[in-house]
Amino acid sequence: MFSIVPRKYVSRLPNSCKVLKRLSSSISSSESVTNRKTENLKRDILQYRHIYPEFLPDPKFEFRNIIREKLERNDMIARRTQIDIPEFYVGSIMAVSSSDPHTPGKFHRFVGICIQRGGCGLRAHFTLRNVIDHQPRPWLERWERKNLQGVQDLGLPEKFYKRAQELAKPWEKYDLMKEYMQVFILLLFVVVITRTIPEEEQTEIFSEIQSKLQKLEVTRKQLKKKRVFVKPIKLA
Amino acid sequence: MAFVFSNIVSKCCIKSLEDAFLTLSVTGSATQVRERHVLGPKPRLRNPTWFTKKLKSKTDEELVTPENEEFVKEVVQDIYNKPIPIQKELITNIEWTPKLQRTGVIAKKIGVYPLWFSNGKRTSTTLLQVLDNHVIRYYTPEEYDPPRKRVGRIYNRKGCLLLGAEGADPSNFTREYCGFPDAALPLGTLLTSMHFQVGNYVDVRGKTIDRGFQGVMKRHGFKGMPASHGVTKTHRRGGNIGGGGEKGRVWPGTKMPGHMGNRYRIAKGLKILRINTKYNVLWVSGQAIPGETNSIVYVFDTKLPLRKPTKPLPFPTYLGDIDENIPEDIYDESIHNFSNPTIVYDEE
């Protein structure tokens, strides 16, 4: 620690000060270890926002209420004790099974690729899609506007491409402010509308449910070992 | 050096900005005088019964001598330091009958989220948090003078309970509930979510979201007119507002643009699907309850004749303690508990 302090500065310090400094340094070193630990824990907790995005509430300020959000999260965890929801992202290939009164056997299973994940709380949803009649995967973005190579010329009129270039906003993806918040300045009044939940609140929310989620993960792993593969019966 | 320089620049900027604002404000006040737009007659103000008008005295404050001040203090202490008058003993063995009217509560609308029925169907519910409701006052039928007078000969005069919630502005957090003297409660009685029962129906009164001056499409759900096909300047207009001949005038009550929202409305006949006793929350069917999230609403037993409760209600209110014997969450029979196993349909 002392090596960092300039020589001149140390020599000028009186003896008692030196002792104090040494003591403080020993304390600070132990503190730094705990700090590192808490920082690691914090980072782990913040990782949850990618794994469980639906636990974060709607950032729209008008719809927020702390008690409602707490009750909603409790219900979500209660539901997760009964169904097995693995970690998944947009692009994951997975199967969804559900009970359906209208299918023979009252059981429905769908295998597909996740193309969308949205909503929050109990209203969270995702979209699965698989190949239907040998169609390619759906196009969700207008690729011709992204200046991609290898796009087949569709023989569209010149006007179409000109218009596409006019409407293109290539800078938008670098606009972090747009992602984070919108600020209106109205003659000395500043109104801030957040589009995301702030980091402090995220840690608060996830540290509250972390222990429960970890328990669920452990039980899921145990169940995974126990589960036996049952070959599906061909129907009709 | 660079730092100093930038500091000067920023100071200059602030000064120039301030000047700009000053000139703006000066020009704004000098030239722009707009007419006041009057939106019909204002709603009549009915002051609550506990409201006492302030007496305005024109005398100077210096004229009040220290003796006068002491005297005023004495009078105030004489009036307000009296012990609370002994309440009549609460009669709890009254059997509830459909004709008896209970008090309602003051609640807060805290949001909307779905619940599932045990047959797998989804339903939207609104969460109403019952606030810290206390009985503040009881007016006996003799002394209660309702702001809305009942018509005809009155055989059964009603008393009135005054409730208060949250130590904030009493004009927002108090509410009067009329009822027959049987429903009276002693001062300071706490009303909780256990006042209501799962499966019963309630009415919820709230102030709708203020949407300001709106056109007919938003206000009355008119269809408007086509966007193209030769239509000009009439896309969101109401169109014709009256016929000719004998009826050649605008009939009263014609739907036209105007102020929308910011008025009290009652959503009637909402079923209570779930109750949380820890946070005092009621899950009530439907998502169209007047008012925005976090606004104050008033919840009371429904007045609809066909949705009266069949089982006896706790009358005048639930008086037991909320302890471990009472579950934290009470679900209606039709609702699927989140911690129950997934719904599976039987094969016939």
CB atoms within 10 A of CB B95: 7
CB within 8 Å: B338 and A121: no
The pLDDT value recorded for residue A199 is 84
Task: Tell me the CATH number for domain B105-147+157-211+260-331.
Answer: 2.40.30.10
A105: nearest CA partner in chain B: B347
- Provide the mean pLDDT of chain A: 75
The pLDDT value recorded for residue B96 is 87
Round to whole Å and give the CA distance between A76 and A119.
13
Contacts of B120 in chain A (CB under 8 A): 99, 101
The pLDDT value recorded for residue A132 is 61
Contacts of B340 in chain A (CB under 8 A): 82
Token reading at B107: 């609640």
DSSP annotation of A67: H
CB within 8 Å: A65 and B111: yes
Token reading at B218: 């938003």
Contacts of A185 in chain B (CB under 8 A): none
What stretches of B156-291 adopt beta strand conformation (E)? 159-164, 174-179, 190-191, 201-207, 212-214, 258-260, 264-276, 281-285
Decide if pLDDT at A197 tops 80.
yes
Give the pLDDT mean for A121-139: 75
A233 touches chain B (CB under 8 A): no
A122 touches chain B (CB under 8 A): yes
What stretches of A48-199 adopt beta strand conformation (E)? 93-99, 107-118, 125-129, 181-186, 189-194
Q: A225 vs chain B: nearest CA distance in angstroms? A: 20
The sign of the dihedral angle between the CA atoms of A129, A133, A136, A139 is negative
User: What residue ranges do the domains of chain B occupy?
Assistant: 105-147+157-211+260-331
The pLDDT value recorded for residue B25 is 47
**Helix axes A199-226 and A66-80, enclosed angle (nearest 10):** 10
Tell the residue number behind the tokens 């402090």, with chain if given. A200
A123 touches chain B (CB under 8 A): yes
Contacts of B276 in chain A (CB under 8 A): 71
The pLDDT value recorded for residue B26 is 46
Decide if pLDDT at A185 tops 60.
no
What is the strand order of the sheet A93-99 is part of? Answer: A93-99, A107-118, A125-129
The pLDDT value recorded for residue B117 is 93
Please give the backbone phi and psi of residue B84, each rounded to the nearest 5 degrees, phi first: -60, 130
B154-170 pLDDT tens trace:
888 888 888 888 867 77
CA angle in degrees (0–180, nearest 5) for B174-B175-B181: 130
A100 touches chain B (CB under 8 A): yes
B20 touches chain A (CB under 8 A): no
Higher-scoring residue by pLDDT: A65, B244: A65
Give the pLDDT mean for A190-202: 72
Question: What residues of chain B score a pLDDT lower than 50?
Answer: 1-10, 12, 24-30
The pLDDT value recorded for residue A122 is 92
Q: B162 vs chain A: nearest CA distance in angstroms? A: 27
Cα–Cα nearest to B138, from B101, B178, B193: B178
Round to whole Å and give the CA distance between B146 and B157.
10
Residue A150 pLDDT level (bands cut at 50, 70, 90): low
Contacts of A54 in chain B (CB under 8 A): none
CB within 8 Å: A65 and B340: no
Bridge partners (DSSP) listed for residue A117: A126
The pLDDT value recorded for residue A65 is 94
Token reading at A130: 């698989």
Nearest CB partner across the interface for B127, out of A68, A106, A188: A68
CB within 8 Å: B120 and A62: no
Nearest CB partner across the interface for B293, out of A65, A71, A75: A65
